[in-house]
Amino acid sequence: MDISFRSALIIALLSVLLLTALVVGSASYHLARFSVEHLGAQVLTEGSARIEQNVRKSLDVAESQSIIMSRLLERGMWDREDHEGFSRYAFEALAALESLSYLSLGLETGMYWHVFRDREGRISVMWLLPQASGERRLFEFYRGANGEREVIRDIAQSSRVPPYERPYYLAAQRAGKPLWTESYVFLGTGETLDIPGVSRATPVFANHKRAGQGTLTKDDPPGKGRFVGAFTADFDLHALSRSLHAAPVGERGFAFIIEERKDGSRRVIAHPDAAHPDPAQRLQLTEPAANGAGRITMRVEGIADPRVTQFVHQLPDTIPDAGVELLQVDAPDGRYIGGYRRLQGDGAPPWAICMLVPQDEVTGAVQRMARTTAWIAGFGVLLIVFIAAVLSKLVTDKLRRIADETSKVAQFHLEPLPVVSSPITEIGRLGRAVEEMKAGLRSFQKYVPADLVRLILESGDEARLGGTRKNITIYFSDIAQFTSVSEQLAPEELVELLAEYLEAMTGEMMLAGGTVDKYIGDAIMAFWGAPKPVPDHPLVACRTALVNQRTLARLREKWSGQGRPSIRARIGLHTGEAIVGNFGSESRLDFTAIGDAVNLASRLEHLNEHYGTEILMSDTTARHVRNDVVSRPLDRVAVKGKQHSVIIHELIGQVDDVSSEHVERAQLFGEAFEHYQKRQWDHAIGLLDELSRLDPEDTPIAILRERCAAYRNAPPPEDWSGVYRMEEK
């Protein structure tokens, strides 16, 4: 038996009303369960991620200083036995980086020096210097901002343990690479044990030069050479407690951090109550050592917070490496939902971030929401029954079709379809409006990136002024000698030729996930990495540039057969941070990228004309793609209007597409450029002459050889850094 949609809708809704009481009771149970398992997990996950970010900031500061000092030592830019120079550098570093507490260097000779910040913020310096007599002198002083010294101690024959017997020194020597120590209580000014912290210990090697170029990172393999000492960058754990106190989890929840030690014990190293403004309520995180030698960080069993001890008692013997695990804690002041996760990252200390949130804080809002939902649902059902009884028969089918079309529009599917017609004027107008909207959007799509339009439509928000800083790869291209090309063609032919060229070039960019920003006459600006992320975007941009040059070569053959002018394009690529977003005015917006990175990419495109090349990329892009493409460094230039220089590279091709002969030429040119940078003019000229015989038409070879010959006859000043300043854009 067939019934009308109107009748079916009313019957269905009445059935819902009869079942409402049962549904509400069941829903209350499931909502409470949902609050514990899902909302609690969400709160704890977000809280742990925020806390981990703060912790990583402190760790990264110490790791960065270790990297900087290691690079200075390895490059021979600083003498490891220069305690005066170390003290000046370390003092300025501690003054600038508030999370650091110590910077120290201990050598196998027994030399040791450190710079230390106490709780009051004063910075002291200590030197332990072996004397000719075999004794060691200990000299400690406060250093003011102007370099003045306030002596703390000056002991001619110190009994202090030499650095090569200290745990951090031995650990760095065994590991041969940077590592984090377990927490311990630092020796402050005057040998006072009063500040818990951790150290980033980095080995120091002698007679070692790292191959290649670039910046040392925490992922670099340990250095080769003889181990001669260890450098430490330390930070105290009070800062972590202060950050936890300033950022509670939820309204009444809190987080704390535990450390898993090699002996199997666990220690609380950060707790918000350890930074309580009232000293009487401040939680202690250190305790006397069992052997009476000073103080150590607090074991979990000794912490004066029963919630923490109950929580840690339920932790597994091994904390998982990923995700937030949940559990419940019955504390004296009520039940808590707890979560924990291990600190992520290669080489991170064995720490776990733990969080506790009162259960009623999570479930209370959900219970109120359930009651409100029940009232709204009841009123809504009655309203729907009334509206459905009046309108459903007249509008359902037509509205369904219109709804389907608008859903497609929301996904930016704009295929034309017959207009929805209806005897109801408003529905007919709505159907026509949908098709007109689709037609307008199809035109609009040609002016702005389609990905950007889809993001705006999916968000449901209006496009607004503003931008965000993102790491992107920018692509600029321009037709060489376009003025002369345009003079050879009638306007209609020029428009047709330019349209075919731009369609071919931008088609490949869009296929590779790029955003075509704008056409500037015959020039193209595009970028990868926004509005949607593009994995490995420097390599994607390089591949697109190479493909476009091959496509243009095929077009030149076609145009030559048609009697049209030959077109060549120059391309500049740069990877860096730019501000990407909507710029302009409230009435007219332009989605684009701005900043120095964009300007540099544009300058690189113009530099092709000077060097006779087709594709130039910055050193930043070259470092990202060095394993996948063949390139050669051409020069270190400072473009017009910029003080800073950049090494520019010519992109030759992908590794698999370039012959071994061209790879060898690129390597020889790179060696010649390195000799040029080192003022070894004769070596550079010899290699360039060899390359010139192989390729006499190569402009970069001629430029570099001419410059080397000139410098050989009239050497540059001593402070010459190899930078060539461009006076033209």
Q: Are residues 476 and 613 in the same domain?
A: yes
Q: Is there a contact between 570 and 477 (Cβ–Cβ < 8 Å)?
A: yes
Residue 219 above 60 pLDDT?
no
State the pLDDT confidence band at 547, using cuts at 50, 70 and 90. Answer: very high
In the prediction, which pLDDT does 399 show? 61
Counting beta carbons within 10 angstroms of the beta carbon of residue 385, is it exposed (0 to 12), middle (13 to 18) or buried (19 or more)? Answer: middle
In the prediction, which pLDDT does 402 show? 64
- Domain that residue 422 falls in: 412-445
Q: Which of 419-423, 520-524, 647-651 has the lowest mean pLDDT?
A: 419-423
Which one, of 198, 161, 207, lies nearest residue 178 by Cα? 198
Structural domain contains residue 632:
no
State the pLDDT confidence band at 198, using cuts at 50, 70 and 90. Answer: confident
Final residue of a domain: which of 625, 653, 674? 625
Q: Are residues 419 and 531 in the same domain?
A: no
Q: Are residues 419 and 485 in the same domain?
A: no
Tens of pLDDT, residue by residue over 308-337, are 988 888 888 888 776 777 788 888 888 888
What residues have CB less than 8 Å from 217, skipping those under 6 apart? Answer: 67
Structural domain contains residue 188:
yes
State the pLDDT confidence band at 698, using cuts at 50, 70 and 90. Answer: very high
Q: Are residues 72 and 152 in the same domain?
A: yes
Q: Are residues 436 and 494 in the same domain?
A: no
Q: What is the spatial distance between Cα 25 and Cα 13, in angstroms, rounded to a whole number? A: 19
Structural domain contains residue 317:
no
Beta carbons within 10 angstroms of residue 483's beta carbon: 8
Structural domain contains residue 707:
no
DSSP 421: -
Whichever domain contains 503, its CATH number is: 3.30.70.1230
In the prediction, which pLDDT does 133 show? 81
Q: Are residues 482 and 436 in the same domain?
A: no
Q: Are residues 435 and 576 in the same domain?
A: no
Helix (H) or strand (E) holding 396: helix 359-410
Whichever domain contains 175, its CATH number is: 3.30.450.20
Structural domain contains residue 458:
no
Structural domain contains residue 45:
no
Q: Are residues 620 and 476 in the same domain?
A: yes
Kindly list the strands in the beta sheet with 266-270, ordered across the sheet, starting from the edge strand earlier in the chain.
266-270, 254-260, 351-358, 334-342, 325-331
DSSP collapsed to 3 states, 491-550: HHHHHHHHHHHHHHHHHHHHHCCCEEEEEECCEEEEEECCCCCCCCHHHHHHHHHHHHHH
Tens of pLDDT, residue by residue over 220-250, are 444 457 888 999 998 878 878 888 888 888 7
Q: Is there a contact between 355 and 253 (Cβ–Cβ < 8 Å)?
A: yes
Q: Is there a contact between 228 and 206 (Cβ–Cβ < 8 Å)?
A: yes
Q: Are residues 433 and 517 in the same domain?
A: no
Beta carbons within 10 angstroms of residue 15's beta carbon: 10
Structural domain contains residue 331:
no
In the prediction, which pLDDT does 331 show? 85
Q: Are residues 434 and 574 in the same domain?
A: no
More confident residue, 692 or 196: 692
Tens of pLDDT, residue by residue over 406-448, are 666 655 566 666 766 666 666 667 767 766 676 666 665 555 5
Domain count for the chain, please give it: 3
Structural domain contains residue 634:
no
Q: Are residues 432 and 546 in the same domain?
A: no
Q: What is the spatial distance between Cα 341 and Cα 346, in angstroms, rounded to a whole number? A: 15
Overall average pLDDT of the 95-100 stretch = 84
Q: Are residues 531 and 590 in the same domain?
A: yes
Give the type of residue at 14: L
